[in-house]
Structure 1
């Protein structure tokens, strides 16, 4: 009987304990509230890549072998093999931008220049048949038409002129001449440059040895009616040869006179020195004679570079070769005469 009562009492006690436990769980759940709904975004671990300083990597399918120990993990990726599979090569494309922010990516065309041959190097067969067969290509010309030939003086015309000033090439200077006849348009119908128009020119100093002509650039022309036109054309002679001829002074006396005089003095001293050899009372001037020869060579060294001078007198006839098309449409206008 006692055993039965204990068993019954224990069963009721166990049932009450289960009821208290369930009630306890309900109480905790009420305090925590409704649990949040799980999100669909999976949580992934973020791994930071080490800051790697790389040099330029060329798309060759192979890895360089840098000296820096920071590239050790790159060599272990392929098991010390340089040739990469296509999949790893695609992954390696991302490493091309792993340079520091202070460095810029090198363009591929610049990276590939190392493998290109140097075209500036001289080829052994510079006169080969392949090079001799290269034809010379000349750009063609397109014909055009003068808008109004009545108001143009075209390139190649001659202007006959008379010098009003003399020319000396010792010093650079200006000169002027006067047209000796009327100059008409290209078609010969309209008078554009009247007789008596003045042309102003300029020339440089000095002639080279052997030259007998001076170059004059005729710059501007002014007509009696007040028309001014930039000419910028060279002067010629009556046959069209460039430059103006004249009397040329070669300065022979100035170039060689002092040297010849000093040499003559030295020869006279040598003559008297040889003539009086045996006479114990004669004074020797050997050092003086040697110094005279040295002075002669020094004088010749400085005077030999004197340039010749060209003289051209006023009143002589010259020509000006028109080197550009002269357009008079801005100052002249044609009208029908009644």
Structure 2
């Protein structure tokens, strides 16, 4: 307010206190009244429903028709059928006669048709009598088998070798088996055993029993020898222990690269273990011969062609590579079989980048746990979906839907858990080709000499 002397006190500035607007208050009060009205209507409807249900129950209890139906039950027409007597059990005699055959050793007789007897012909009766006679003779005959043992041409029919002779021959067989270490001992012994049997030693059963047990003893003695015994690496023949059968051999030609040497190279194409494929590399330096080291056999810049394996197990970090061909700069080629590739320190395979897919695996595991929990929660209260604990159509449908969706999603997530790591080898990776076979050249390398 302006308190100056020349200003009228009745005048009020426009920036003073304003009057409160009552419109929001009216809106709030109206909403509350509407809410109270709705609550009263709902309460009245519920009370009417309860009163109607109680009246229906009272009318049902006090109805005479319902009482009559409860009394009569299933006999509403007024006619009661007579009671059916229980079935009569026939009298069974206390003793049950069992027919026993007179002779238990005889075969059972065929069934006889007493209603329509069949007349047997005289030929049939004669054949049956012959069969019975042969059967009785076979039963009463002695069970023995006579075998004529083979004899040598020089031995007499009544001469039987003694036990000492049999043991001497067994000792000779043992010595021959020990001498032939390069051959299969079991096959050699069986051949010698057949020779002894053909020569007439079969008359002495004790000697034959010893011969029959000998292969088992030889095999058992060989199997009982421990695998880590130093005698496995020792000489078991008649030769000297410190003498080798092999001798130093000169190279066929001075232009040869022997096994055990390496070919340094650089990878040109990359490797991804998700799919198999071919790879290329380039020799990084000149390769000279092994005997002298002066003749250039493989020039720098020669191409290497090979393949890699995509079979990667869980936890594997190295990829297997095999080199198959050399392409020289002048167009000549050479097949080198399947020589392995190794890294700079000689370890088989290449190792660069390994992707174990941890994010994908743990994400799938968390998602699978959430799906299983949701499916379990959807089926928890399925039994109480209807009146008095009975299932209705909606509860059964929701239960089946949750179960099938849970199973399908679980199978999908399980496939994502079984993921092998992905191995990647970038171009420019340096490695060595291990020479596993002798590479023989006709002359040193010279471009376009063909």
- Interval containing the TM-score (normalised by the shorter chain): 0.5 to 0.7
* Equivalent residues of 2:299, 2:445 under 8 A apart: no
Specify which of 332, 346, 354 is matched with residue 240 of structure 1: 346
In the alignment, which residue of structure 2 is the partner of 1:262?
368
In the alignment, which residue of structure 1 is the partner of 2:158?
89
* Equivalent residues of 2:375, 2:406 under 8 A apart: no
Residue pairs, 1:163-312, within 5 angstroms: 163-186=267-290, 187-232=292-337, 233-255=339-361, 257-267=363-373, 294-295=407-408, 297-312=410-425
**Counterpart Cα distance in 1 of 2:261 and 2:225:** 47
In the alignment, which residue of structure 2 is the partner of 1:323?
436
In the alignment, which residue of structure 2 is the partner of 1:7?
none
More strand by share: 1
**Counterpart Cα distance in 1 of 2:445 and 2:304:** 24
The alpha-carbon deviation at position 201 of structure 1 amounts to 0.8
In the alignment, which residue of structure 2 is the partner of 1:49?
none
After TM superposition, the structure 1 stretch with the greater mean CA deviation from structure 2, 262-271 or 315-324, is 262-271
**Counterpart Cα distance in 2 of 1:126 and 1:240:** 37
In the alignment, which residue of structure 2 is the partner of 1:9?
none
**Counterpart Cα distance in 2 of 1:155 and 1:125:** 35
Query: Alignment partner of 1:265: what SS?
Result: helix
**Counterpart Cα distance in 2 of 1:213 and 1:137:** 37
In the alignment, which residue of structure 2 is the partner of 1:72?
none
In the alignment, which residue of structure 1 is the partner of 2:212?
117
**Counterpart Cα distance in 2 of 1:154 and 1:295:** 59
Query: Alignment partner of 1:320: what SS?
Result: strand
The alpha-carbon deviation at position 141 of structure 1 amounts to 3.4
Q: Which has the higher contact order (CA 8 A, sep 6+)?
A: 1
Identify if the C-alpha distance between structure 1 residues 309 and 120 changes in structure 2 by more than 3 Å, giving closer, same or farther: farther
The alpha-carbon deviation at position 258 of structure 1 amounts to 3.8
**Counterpart Cα distance in 1 of 2:432 and 2:156:** 83
**Counterpart Cα distance in 2 of 1:161 and 1:287:** 62
**TM-score after normalising by structure 2:** 0.43
Q: Deviations over 1:137-194 (max 9, x none)?
A: 3565311223543x12222222221212111222222111011221222222122211
Residue pairs, 1:8-157, within 5 angstroms: 57-59=149-151, 88-89=157-158, 109=196, 115=209, 116-118=211-213, 119-120=215-216, 123=220, 136-137=233-234, 140-149=245-254, 151-157=255-261
Query: Alignment partner of 1:311: what SS?
Result: strand
* Equivalent residues of 1:263, 1:292 under 8 A apart: no
Identify if the C-alpha distance between structure 1 residues 294 and 120 changes in structure 2 by more than 3 Å, giving closer, same or farther: farther
* Equivalent residues of 1:259, 1:297 under 8 A apart: no
The alpha-carbon deviation at position 109 of structure 1 amounts to 4.8
**Counterpart Cα distance in 2 of 1:223 and 1:117:** 65
**Counterpart Cα distance in 2 of 1:255 and 1:302:** 10
Identify if the C-alpha distance between structure 1 residues 179 and 294 changes in structure 2 by more than 3 Å, giving closer, same or farther: same
**Counterpart Cα distance in 2 of 1:251 and 1:177:** 29
More helix by share: 2
**Counterpart Cα distance in 2 of 1:256 and 1:299:** 14
Tell me the matched-pair count.
237
